[in-house]
Each structure stands twice: as C-alpha cells, then as structure tokens.
Structure 1
C-alpha cells in the first residue's frame, strides 16, 4: 500500500485510491474503498455521492475550485493534481480552497510532487502529499521543516514577518 506524507513530516499508509477520469463513453468505476474521484463527476452525481465519508475529489490543474462552491466542506479530502512539477496552478487552487472557500479538511497534493516543493505546498494550505513514486519519502520531514519562518503572509500565518517582529 502506498504511503503519504503529512504536514508535520510524519508518514502514514494512504488508504485513498485516486480514480482516473474514465475514457469517453465509459462510466466512472468507483472501488469499494475510500476513493478520490474527478470533482466534476462528483458534482454531476452529487445525489449519489453526497454525505459519503469514503468519497473525496481531485481537481486537475486547469479546473476551477470555485465549481465546488458551498459544498466544499462536505468533502473529507480534496486532492489537487500537479501534472508536472513546473505547473504552479495547484498552488493557487490550494489558496483559493483555503482562503476564499474556507475548506477545512484534508488538502492533498498528488501527481508530480517532488521533495523541494513540499515547503511551498504547505504554505499554500496543503496538509498531505503523495510524492512521486521515485522520490524518497523518508526525506520529506526534513524538506517540510527546512524554513522556520516565512516572510510573507500565507495560509499558515496571516501576518508577514516584519509585523510579527514589530509586535
């Protein structure tokens, strides 16, 4: 079973499976375990999936998190896919989910997630990370704790460093 890294650097078994988007003409095949399904398909089948603690969603980097609207906190997990490490749209999606939409549950980074991105993902609001399979998950805690202070305000602190020092 794969493992994920939590925001505090601990590692745990990943009991969620990411369900890929079905090919055109095929239907969504949700397994009999905790599943992350495409967000737009969750919305389309809302009556079927609403209130289920074993169903979360994943957003691709081109999707708008606002589409989840006031239903956002009904989801136990929202994952954001990073199709390649150079695609930074997932950081913006995380900030929108946390700051504008008020998402309070698990926000997970999936896809091309590298160790050197973890600290920045954490500042944007992610609190769990599914690393790319070829990366050493044992090094994650060091990467998450590399910086002790951030200069800017972000989801982890709403006060910039110069104000924290002045206060």
Structure 2
C-alpha cells in the first residue's frame, strides 16, 4: 500500500483503495474486505446500501460539486478529492466548501497529482492527509507542510487575516 502524509508531517500506511469509476454499462466493483473510496455520486445513488459503513468513503473529481452530499457528508469516514493535474485548483475550492459550508469534520484527503509545494496550501484549505504523486520524495513532506510561518488571508486554519491578528 502507498503511504500518506498527515498534518503533523508523519507518514502512515494508506489502507484505503481508490475504486475507479466504472465504464458505461459496467457496475461498481468494490473489493471485498478492503476499505474503499468510491465515486461520490455512486455512493449517493447506493446510499441505502453504503450508509453507516466505516469501510466506504468517497472521492470527488475536480469537476464535481460537493453540494451533492450536503447533509450527508459526516456519514463518511473519508472524503478524497482528486487533483487530475497539479495546475487544476478546483480541488482547493471543494475542500473549503466541504469544511466551511457543509461542516465536514472527518478525514479529508488530497489524491492524484499532489506535489510537495502544494501541501501547505492544501492544508490551509482543510485537507488533513495527502497522497503524494509516486515520483515525489515523501520524506520531505513535513517541511513542506509548514514552509511559511504565517498566512496573510483567513482560511480553514485561521478565521482572521494577518492584519487583524497583528492589530489584536
């Protein structure tokens, strides 16, 4: 299994399998006995079957809207957001919406084309675990999570912008 980086910079084994979206006409194949992340819309379509299961989480692609899970997000132990390429920033917005608008409080994971220089920005948007792209050095991740000592703007990790923090 690949490794994950956590918010404190530690590395842990990833025991969740990302189940790809089935081709048109095919059914979803969830591996038996394996914690699995399935496409969010398919989880919603099979909600009566998947509800309450701690071994099933979901993943969003960057073009999908998290609103589809409004009111149900905290039923999920893990939500992953796929970054199909490092230059696609829509996943940052999905993370902020899940945390701030929909109140998601469980594990929020960044998957896909995740690079070291993105980690601190992903953290500020609400991600708390990160699956780095395979060709990146995971041992450098802890330093990248806290590269800057302060952020100027408010985010999920602070409610006030820097100018207000300095004034108080």
- TM-score tier (shorter): over 0.9
Aligned partners of 1:36 and 1:80: how far apart in 2?
Answer: 10
Give, in angstroms, the shift of residue 66 of structure 1.
0.6
Mapping 1:45-60, distance limit 5 Å? 45-60=46-61
> 1:6 aligns to what?
6
Aligned partners of 1:89 and 1:34: how far apart in 2?
Answer: 26
Aligned partners of 1:72 and 1:24: how far apart in 2?
Answer: 26
TM-score by length of 1: 0.99
Aligned partners of 1:52 and 1:87: how far apart in 2?
Answer: 31
Give, in angstroms, the shift of residue 47 of structure 1.
0.4
> 1:133 aligns to what?
134
> 1:27 aligns to what?
27
Aligned partners of 2:160 and 2:8: how far apart in 1?
Answer: 21
> 2:96 aligns to what?
95
Aligned partners of 2:160 and 2:101: how far apart in 1?
Answer: 17
SS in 2 for 1:85: coil
Give, in angstroms, the shift of residue 165 of structure 1.
1.2
Mapping 1:123-162, distance limit 5 Å? 123-162=124-163
Give 5+ residue unaligned stretches, structure 2: none
Q: RMSD of the TM alignment (CA)?
A: 0.6
Give, in angstroms, the shift of residue 145 of structure 1.
1.2
| Number of positions where the alignment pairs a residue of Structure 1 with one of Structure 2 | 167
